[in-house]
Chain A
Amino acid sequence: MAVVLKLEHISKIYGDLKALDDINLEVQEGEWLSIMGPSGSGKSTMMNIIGCMDTPSMGKVLLEGQDLSALTGAELTSIRRDKIGLIFQQFHLVNYLTALENVMLAQYYHSLPDEQEALEALKQVGLEKRASHLPSQLSGGEQQRVCIARALINYPRVILADEPTGNLDENNEKLVIELFKRMHEEGRTVIVVTHDPEVAEHSQRTVIIDHGRLSKTVHNT
């Protein structure tokens, strides 16, 4: 199996604080990886670096063999657009666009908006009847499912989710886990930051991060 993502000696330093301290990690194509760790341990910092929204202070990030640390802001933007699907804890939808338009927004920046395809993506997450609703008319779980549909719409190489179930109740959490399972079964590469052991145990591998260092790796069976 091919390595999609490789972190080599990654550090991120804020003043005196080492948010990330010499991280080394490889992620295989099609792998489902969980990242766990206490609050403030550097999980989001790591996700931002992988997601091309931030650059490391030291070390190398290789995405499909391409070194990201050498790229300019605009080049990182285009990689993010083409290869990464992002899912956040706080849903983050554009509040004056409908569910459908929010999905189409990702298509718009990526290539061409395609209403039919966007509708199909909403159907995949069980929201085809909610297509014309504004975020304010949707429940938290529904909003997160719209975000998932949006993250998947451009067939990204890697899906990054930072505490996707952190703001959801149990029912919605189950729905979201189901969607992640399906992504994984479809062969997508998924990296999920989570506090929730239940989410983590569905993944193939869990890495634990503490004070910016990888402290432990667990292989689930």
Chain B
Amino acid sequence: MNKQLFFLRMLLSSLLRRRSRLLVALLAVGLGATLLSGLVTLYKDVPRQLGREFRSYGANLVITSDSTHPLTVALAEQAAALVPQDKLIGHSSCRYENIRINELPFMASGCELEQLRKTAPYWQVDGQWPQAGEVLLGQQVAASLGAFAGDVLELALTARGAQEPRTFKVAGLLKTGSAEEKFVYLPLSELLSLTSDERVDITEFSIQAGEQELGTLAQTMRESTGQHVRLVRRVTHSEVTVLSKLKALVYIVTVVVLVLTMVCVATTMVAVVAERRREIGLRKALGASDRGIFAEFMGESVLLGLGGGVLGAVLGYLFADAVSEQVFGRPVQVNVWLSLVTVLLSIVVTALSCVVPVKSASRVDPAQVLRGE
């Protein structure tokens, strides 16, 4: 049998026949590797996921109307056709009008409600979203009217004092905790039938694209429709801030986990070495050199790092996937490179944290530990 083979047989025997020890050390390494690979997976995946969430949380491009550039439904559709289909999460046109309900003045918003629902998932509706002949009342409106879902209201445009009021049924009440609660919502087509024209005040687009791409799109829309097209920078900007803060957080946690893992592995190794002083002494008595002892223990730590790394790569993926499913409702993508890096890093970290305890192990004096009492 050659020397390398026996070396390997020794290492494997040591790891497999001292299973409880192995388990503790493996757990230390594996846990660190799990946290690391899990965090990094999330770190890489979260911006992608969050980007989608942010985009679906509101408009990032708007077309507004004024007296010299009146916006119509047709123009809004023309603009929407300029956005690549796979990037357009939704768009919604709105028309605002002063109205009276039961002789009290309110502001009505006629919107494409189906689209609005997509771009405003945080709206809470008590009851139903309105269909034809129905309205959605902001919480504050409902309070001042004393109205509930299911009630029937008389609604007329303020601008046309003479117009005969029409009856609408209250489909539901809207809670957002902000200004939206002061509005009365009804389908755009209903409001336009009251005003008898095709004008809208604003069209909001929710588009999945970077700032630069959005700018180009806005320019194209401007040229094609002759309208005022703006980017809503506030959203894009805060998105970047949140993401960079998140990244910084993951960095810090990663470093902390790395340090903790090294401390954990090093202490485990110190304990392992202390426990095996006699064995080390015996090996030296049998003729092992300091270098040989060092190689044997480092060999064990490399195997340990390999095992812990593989364990960590698998568990880390499962961990990240579970978190992603919980938070975003989507699985993460498997990253082969990351798995490889996890295993390699785990080997390096384990080996590094073993250097000091193993160095001291190789200095054990055989005469001292083998002394017969």
Contact = CB atoms under 8 A, between A and B. Distances in A.
A162 B287 contact: no
B287 A94 contact: no
B14 A96 contact: yes
A121 interface: no
A94 B296 CA distance: 14
Contact of B285 (A53, A104, A108): A53
Nearest to A79: B287
B366 A53 contact: yes
Nearest to B282: A92
B1 interface: yes
A53 B370 CA distance: 10
A105 interface: yes
Given A78-B287, A80-B285, A81-B287, A112 B370 contact: no
A101 B370 contact: no
B283 A105 contact: yes
A112 B2 contact: yes
B95 to A, nearest CB: 81
Given A53-B285, A77-B284, A104 B372 contact: no
A162 B367 CA distance: 12
B13 interface: yes
A89 interface: yes
Given A106-B286, A109-B283, A44 B3 contact: no
B289 A94 contact: no
A44 B6 contact: no
A2 B14 CA distance: 43
A162 B372 CA distance: 8
Interface residues of A, number: 37
A146 interface: no
Nearest to A53: B367
Which of B2, B17, B286, B287 is most buried by chain A, counting CB atoms within 10 A of its CB?
Answer: B286
Interface in A63-101: 74, 77-78, 80-82, 86, 88-90, 92-97, 101
B245 interface: no
A115 B9 CA distance: 13
Interface string B351-371: 000000000000001110011
B320 to A, nearest CB: 36
Interface in B1-51: 1-3, 5-7, 9-10, 13-14, 17-18
Given A53-B367, A113-B3, A44 B292 contact: no
A109 B291 CA distance: 12
Interface string B268-293: 00000000001100111111111010
Nearest to B284: A77
Contacts of A150: 286
A22 interface: no
B13 A109 contact: no
Contacts of A44: 371-372
Query: Chain B interface: which size bin?
Result: 20 to 34
Nearest to B6: A113
B286 A109 contact: yes
B13 A97 contact: yes
Given A101-B13, A134-B17, A109 B292 contact: yes
Contact of A54 (B279, B292, B367): B367
A90 B281 CA distance: 13
B1 A112 contact: yes
Which of B2, B5, B13, B287 is most buried by chain A, counting CB atoms within 10 A of its CB?
Answer: B287
A172 interface: no
A78 B1 CA distance: 22
B59 to A, nearest CB: 67
B287 A80 contact: yes
Contacts of A88: 370, 372
Contacts of A134: 17
Given A105-B283, A112-B3, A163 B289 contact: no
B282 A94 contact: yes
Contact of A109 (B14, B288, B365): B288
Contacts of A109: 283, 286-288, 292
Interface in A119-176: 134, 150, 162-163, 166
A181 interface: no
Given A44-B371, A101-B10, A95 B288 contact: no
A81 B372 contact: no
A90 B1 contact: no
Contacts of A51: 285
Given A77-B289, A101-B10, A113-B6, A92 B1 contact: no
Given A77-B287, A81-B287, A108 B3 contact: yes
Nearest to B371: A44
Nearest to A114: B1
8 contacts: A77-B284, A78-B287, A86-B286, A90-B370, A108-B7, A110-B287, A114-B1, A115-B1
Given A44-B371, A113-B3, 6 more contacts: A53-B367, A74-B290, A92-B285, A94-B279, A105-B286, A113-B2
